Amino acid sequence: MSPKNSKTREPREEDHLKALGVRVRKWREQKGFTQEQFAPVVGFTRSYITEIETGKRNISFLNLIKLLQTLEVDDREVKQLLHDIYAEKEK
């Protein structure tokens, strides 16, 4: 087995969580929410949202659905996120 350089390494779970976090922050900001404003609307704490957005929290599927519905995220945007994550894996 040959060592992989950093350009060809497999994406780690942390990479996927960070990719999700970047999108969640973008979607939240597009709706005009601060984390403090958004937390009670979605039913999460501000620190939980921070952990999601920084890729430190692996949220449950049900919480993801709640978040996407609250932010009214279009299914095309979710598909694009998944496409980007899978494309990163293929690199």
Judge whether 86 lies within some domain. yes
Q: What is the pTM of this model?
A: 0.82
Judge whether 1 lies within some domain. no
SS3 content of the chain, % helix, strand, coil (to 5): 65, 0, 35
Q: How many domains does the chain have?
A: 1
Q: What is the mean pLDDT of residues 77-82?
A: 94
Question: How many Cβ atoms sit within 10 Å of the Cβ of residue 24?
Answer: 22
Judge whether 75 lies within some domain. yes
Judge whether 63 lies within some domain. yes
Give the domain CATH number at 40: 1.10.260.40
Look at the block and give the residue holding tokens 């996407």. 68
Judge whether 2 lies within some domain. no
Residue 6 has pLDDT above 60, yes or no: no
Domain ranges, residue 83: 13-90
Judge whether 7 lies within some domain. no
Q: Which two tokens stand for residue 87?
A: 């494309």
Judge whether 56 lies within some domain. yes
